[in-house]
Amino acid sequence: MDGPREQAVGGRRWTAADLLAVLAGVVVVVVAVSPIAARWLGNEPDQRLVDLEVYREGGRAILRGAPLYDVLTQPPQFLPFTYPPFAAVLAVPFTVMPWRAAQLVWTGLICVALVICVRYAFRDLIRRTGRWAPLTTGVLVAAMAWLDPVRDQFRFGQVGVFLLALCLADCCARAPRWPRGALVGLAVAIKLVPGVFLIYFLITGRRDALGNALFTAAAATLGGFALLPHDSSDYWFGALLQGGDRTGAVDGTTNQAVQGIVARILPEGPARTLVWLVLALIVAYWGFVWARRASEAAELRTGADSSSLLLASVAIVGLLSVVLSPVGWIHHLVWMIAVFGALAGDGRDVRRCLAAFGLWFLFLFPVPWWGRSLIGPEHSVISEFAGQVTRDLFGIAALASIVVLGTWLIGRTEPGIADEDPSQPEVRMGTLSP
């Protein structure tokens, strides 16, 4: 038979080129992720996936009936469990695995979640490449895996990519097979920070999604109370109120939230708290205003522009969950993946792509730690100032991204701009050819 060999897979005719694209995409991901995974899985045992160890200790506490919020991980970390009891219940399966197996499984799940995030964040760009979409997905996953916040997901064994995947899927799926809002509710039950999406659903008129999210979060939380009544009481009326005392110093370099930036400038006291609260209220107000504006603009656009603006509104809220939190660690900034996807769109607008590339390039490097190295008594005043600014650069970039998505991106998607702006050549969907 002439022509490429074909194979029926799931009712669709797959050619050899299709299978080659899938294989190439998998190879790219494996080649890109292997050095990262090997680096941290080969770390010293007491420095390896320390947050996964926290989750496992929470699961162990449940199995042996120990107080969940009194347990600490092994030295030298001595880390407490800081999540709701429901999260500890989900961690129980990892307690029955050998430690090495749990690390490998968790790392694999991070990779799966990262693929889901990329598929939602870069959906239109991936679709433009047609049959080579699997390879495009692999290249984008590889590019995102090397971001500093994502590398930290592998390093610490964090849940940030899982929460990102849940929120993106819930908010951006065009025809979800689940009640919209349920995945956000699940994310809130695991960690409270995604609760900002409840406000997002409210201000954008997504009342059904809000109801589903509240129902899911409440059901999971009440389930936690039913299974672990004492631990649930300890969390909601004790550990939760301790805040930073359990999660770490707010003025540490890795805290890129508004409070972290303020804490590195002002000494502890009422003035610092007041400044933080005022700035947080300003950021929250304008952030939600721009998120709503982007969501409304998405309803007035069609095609890739509509998808980009919807993603932008979701990305803004995701960034708010980081910068408004008392502690927004660097690894929480995996939300920048959604920012890159919103800016890049389907790849037609060169200026948007350049903005996405510039931000992506910035987050490839541990920039805040470079700034930290410039601070000290042996450095000049100029060096100290430059170090302080550089130390806060990820947080500043997150705040700037909120402004860019809520103002500039909406302007770039105005109807007719593609005809007026030579940086947006006309491109048909589903192909890379002009």
* Residue after which a domain boundary falls, among 242, 265, 286: 242
- Going from the C-alpha of 22 to that of each of 27, 116, 139, 339, the distances in angstroms are 9, 15, 11, 26
pLDDT given at position 170 = 98
Whole-number Å distance between alpha carbons of 93 and 342: 36
Dihedral sign, CA of 259, 264, 266, 267? positive
237 and 251 fall within a common domain: no
174 and 258 fall within a common domain: no
**Burial grade of 196 (CB within 10 A; 0-12, 13-18, 19 or more):** buried
Residues 6+ apart with CB under 8 A from 29: 111, 115, 138, 141, 142, 145
pLDDT given at position 359 = 98
161 and 101 fall within a common domain: yes
Q: For residue range 157-167, list pLDDT tens digits in order.
A: 999 999 999 99
| Full domain range(s) for residue 322 | 246-428
pLDDT given at position 40 = 93
**Closest Cα to residue 115, out of 162, 171, 175?**
162
171 and 194 fall within a common domain: yes
CA angle centred on 395, ends 392 and 396, rounded to 5°: 80
| Sequence letter at residue 70 | D
Whole-number Å distance between alpha carbons of 180 and 177: 8
50 and 169 fall within a common domain: yes
Whole-number Å distance between alpha carbons of 298 and 305: 7
Domain count, the chain: 2
Residues 6+ apart with CB under 8 A from 361: none
223 and 261 fall within a common domain: no
126 and 48 fall within a common domain: yes
pLDDT given at position 386 = 92
Please, what are the averages of pLDDT over each run of 10 residues along the chain (434 residues)? 46 80 96 96 86 96 94 88 95 95 97 98 96 96 98 96 98 95 98 96 97 98 95 87 65 95 94 97 98 96 94 98 95 98 96 98 97 87 91 98 97 66 47 31
91 and 180 fall within a common domain: yes
Query: Helices 85-95 and 207-227 meet at what angle, rounded to 10?
Result: 70
206 and 281 fall within a common domain: no
Residues 6+ apart with CB under 8 A from 301: 309, 413, 415
pLDDT given at position 243 = 55
pLDDT given at position 237 = 87
- Going from the C-alpha of 54 to that of each of 72, 94, 218, 404, the distances in angstroms are 8, 11, 24, 36
* Residue after which a domain boundary falls, among 224, 242, 260: 242
Q: What letter does residue 6 receive in the DSSP assignment? A: E
pLDDT given at position 426 = 47
pLDDT given at position 391 = 96
Alpha helices in 96-206 (DSSP H): 99-121, 123-128, 133-145, 148-156, 160-172, 182-190, 196-203
* Residue after which a domain boundary falls, among 242, 257, 283: 242
Asked if 171 contacts 206 with a C-beta cutoff of 8 angstroms, the reply is: no
pLDDT given at position 392 = 97
Q: Is 271 inside any structural domain?
A: yes
pLDDT given at position 419 = 45
Whole-number Å distance between alpha carbons of 60 and 54: 10
Instruction: Identify the residue whose tokens are 């129902």.
Output: 215
297 and 418 fall within a common domain: yes
Which DSSP string corresponds to 341-379? Answer: HHHHTTS--HHHHHHHHHHHHHTTS-HHHHHHTT-STTS
Verdict on whether the full-model pTM lies above 0.75 = yes
pLDDT given at position 428 = 40
pLDDT given at position 421 = 53
| Sequence letter at residue 268 | E
Asked if 51 contacts 157 with a C-beta cutoff of 8 angstroms, the reply is: yes
251 and 355 fall within a common domain: yes
SS3 category, 74: coil
